[in-house]
Amino acid sequence: SVQALAAGLSGGRPVFTAWCGLPEPSIAGYLAREAGIDAVVLDMQHGVIDFLNAARAIPLVAAAGKPAIPRIPVVEFATASRLLDAGAAGIIAPMINTVEDARRFASFVKFPPQGERSWGPHPALTLTGLQPAEYFRTANGFLRSFAMVETREALDRIDAILAVDGIDAVFIGPSDLSIGLSRGAALDPNGAEVNAAIDHALARAKAAGKLAGIYAPNGERAADFAKRGYHLVAVGSDLAFLRAGAAAMMKAATA
């Protein structure tokens, strides 16, 4: 499951990932068992998930045979290494706006000589079943780093961000991107300007031989992104799943 993300992303069909923000680890573990869900994001930026919640959720997601992909808080790159030690298969880093941000993020995801990740992946060794020397030799190849492009600055520099060694993918945040592209005038993640940027970002990632992921707030938008050709499509969130399920069931109950 930890190693499966890389293979899934190059499998010719999109990887659909649930998006968890609620702190109870079993929610991620249960969602990992739902049909159609290939992976689970643990959102430590805007979700209520702290390091311990994430470290406990990762083996529950792995027990379902699925990869866990935490999103770290802004600039907390050291947390990326700790989450990989805990058995995360990839990391999403928000607000990567400069090449320097991208380099710093990649350095915490990749071991030397590619990066500067410190050694100590004890839970990851248990989850993968790899011997230390083999994990060290292969981890840079199977762990995936997603640099979030969600500002005007980042979009302007997307080629340079994609060119950073150790950055495997860009990940589009349509909400922040809409705020940035409108210079703070509007939150409009479904607008024409954002949609054009979404196609542009995917094209640039493909031109660079790298991957692209994106966040979708509902199933319809997720299907749209999958059709456009995104490699990873996050469908969220756990709270949205809960509310949609409650609304549908209560509508039926009170009909």
Task: By CB under 6 A, name the binding residues for ligand 3PY.
Answer: 94, 150, 173-176, 215
Position of minimal CB gap to ligand 3PY: 173
Rule CB under 5 A: say whether 176 interacts with Mg ion. Answer: yes
Nearer to ligand 3PY, 69 or 130 (CB): 69
- Distance between first and last Cα of the chain: 42
Is 46 annotated as catalytic?
Answer: yes
* Residues near 126 by beta carbon (within 8 Å), at least 6 away in sequence: 87
Kindly identify the residues of this chain, within the stretch 114-153, that bind Mg ion according to CB under 5 A: 150
Please state the closest distance from residue 112 (CB atom) to ligand 3PY, in A.
30
Distances (CA, A) of 181 to 20, 147, 177, 184: 27, 18, 6, 8
Q: Which stretch binds Mg ion (CB under 5 A): 30-38, 166-174, 180-188, 244-252?
A: 166-174
Find which of Mg ion, ligand 3PY, none residue 174 binds, CB within 5 to 8 Å per kind: ligand 3PY
Peptide bond into 26 cis (omega under 30): no
Please state the closest distance from residue 133 (CB atom) to Mg ion, in A.
38
Position of minimal CB gap to Mg ion: 173
Residue type, 236: G
Total residues at the site for Mg ion (CB under 5 A)?
A: 3
Please state the closest distance from residue 173 (CB atom) to Mg ion, in A.
3
Please state the closest distance from residue 160 (CB atom) to ligand 3PY, in A.
21
What own/partner pairs with CB < 8 Å and gap ≥ 24 does 237-245 have?
237/19, 237/20, 237/21, 237/43, 237/47, 238/18, 238/19, 238/20, 238/21, 238/22, 238/27, 238/28, 238/31, 239/21, 239/22, 241/18, 241/31
Helices marked H in 32-86: 51-63, 77-85
By rule CB under 5 A, what string of x and - marks binding of each residue 189-228 to Mg ion? ----------------------------------------
Find which of ligand 3PY, Mg ion, none residue 115 binds, CB within 5 to 8 Å per kind: none
Contact assessment for residue 169 and residue 106, using Cβ atoms and an 8 Å cutoff: no
Please state the closest distance from residue 253 (CB atom) to ligand 3PY, in A.
31
Catalytic residues: 46
Residues that bind Mg ion (CB under 5 A): 150, 173, 176
